[in-house]
Structure 1
Amino acid sequence: MNDPRRVCRVQLPTLPPALRANKRALGVYIAGAVFATGWWLFFDACVRSHTLHKQPTSPDKPYDPPGVAIKFDDWIPGISTTIGLVIVNLVNKQHLLDENGGLGANVPWNDDPIMWRTRMWLFIGFAFLAGGMAGSVALMIIKYMLNVQAEGYLEFGLASILQNVLLMLCVVLLWFSQRVESEYEYNLTL
């Protein structure tokens, strides 16, 4: 018999019992791997850019530098997204909940200064995340797609976009993995 409360017709597989006990740690490790992959893609593009701009050692070879290179303006979107990641994941999610366990259902959030500050910090964090993503897309379009000299170097712009997508995926993974209670967490109420 189907459960009427189910959203999807296809039931997603459950985690094996060995992994269910360590959901939080598994989520944090996967988020760390996604974060490292994002920055690795960008560092790889930086190394390739530097290699293309390296002058040959022999004077016989002509040196024709490419029209574009990864400079500081390419770093800004990734740094902005990383700052947003840190801000969003430093916010204590318990401050978003009221005493009944809902997301501010009974208390108007403008009356609770802690909830107001928490939501403001979340807004600032999400603004950094959105700014980083928008910056990488704008950089890709302006510097690598519309620039005639950048023909053939679209991969540098794609590396920045992929970096920001992976960093945002890391934020989502960390957000949900921190909501899972740890096996070492105890809820003591008197």
Structure 2
Amino acid sequence: MSENRLFRFSKPEWLNNPNLRTAGVYLAGALFSLGFFFFIDASAFSHSSKNGSAVHIRFVDWIPGICSALGMLVINSIEKTRLSADSYSYSGTGVAWKARLVLFLGFALMAGGLAGSVAVMVLKYVVPQYPWPTLYFGVANVIANGLIMLSSVILWVSQNMEDDYTYSLAL
């Protein structure tokens, strides 16, 4: 075992499958669209005539979703090789810490979006003790942000899988 490894056990070889990589990208897209479907469905229902309450989804409810989507954009714009760039001395000096900082900010945006959706649900829907059809607006916001966060993690992992096929094309 080499001395510069982070974990004791290596990654299984079956993860280096290009079909698994493609399936991960499609799964991430499906989770992202499903997340926004829940929130847009709740937003449309809140403004319909079948909504029995005076509570509607406003811009405050959209802010956590915007933060999660921006966090997803920031995280997936970073390549995995940039995180260890200083050890290979490629692209100049100081690339790795900048990439790690931007990755941290992306995850902070997504965590803030998820925490914000929980805060909006609790403060706007749970504390006033609204019944279920109205409480669904807050639950849909939390589900949407959770699915966006999960899709971002799946997309980043699947895009940064290493397989021998892509490296042989680059040579």
TM-score between both structures, scaled by the size of structure 2: 0.79
- The structure whose residues are more often helix, as a share, is 2
Aligned to 1:125: 106
For residue 186 of structure 1, what is the amino acid of its counterpart? Y
How far 1:21 sits from its partner (Å)? 3.7
Aligned to 1:69: 56
Structure 2 residue 37 is the aligned partner of structure 1 residue 50: no
Q: Could you tell me which of 19, 35, 49 is aligned with 1:38?
A: 35
Structure 2 residue 8 is the aligned partner of structure 1 residue 28: no
Report the aligned-residue RMSD.
Answer: 2.9
CA contact (8 A) 2:79 2:160 kept: no
Distance 2:107 2:94 in 1: 20
Which segments of 5 or more consecutive residues in structure 1 lack a partner in the other structure? 7-13, 55-64
1:40-89 Cα offsets, whole Å, 9 max, x none, are 010110111010478xxxxxxxxxx6231101111110110000001001
Structure 2 residue 64 is the aligned partner of structure 1 residue 84: no
Structure 1 runs, 4 residues or longer, greater than 4 Å off: none
* Pair 1:139–1:78, CA change in 2 (3 A): same
CA contact (8 A) 1:22 1:183 kept: no
Larger Rg: 1
For residue 88 of structure 1, what is the amino acid of its counterpart? I
TM-score between both structures, scaled by the size of structure 1: 0.72
Aligned residues: 158
1:18-51 Cα offsets, whole Å, 9 max, x none, are xx44121111011000000000010110111010
CA contact (8 A) 2:70 2:109 kept: yes
Distance 2:98 2:150 in 1: 25
CA contact (8 A) 2:85 2:95 kept: no
Which segments of 5 or more consecutive residues in structure 2 lack a partner in the other structure? 1-7
1:102-136 Cα offsets, whole Å, 9 max, x none, are xx6x99xxxx4111110110111011011101100
Distance 1:131 1:27 in 2: 25
Give percent identity, aligned residues only. Answer: 42
Distance 2:164 2:47 in 1: 47
Q: Could you tell me which of 158, 181, 186 is aligned with 2:139?
A: 158
For residue 66 of structure 1, what is the amino acid of its counterpart? S
Distance 1:178 1:48 in 2: 35
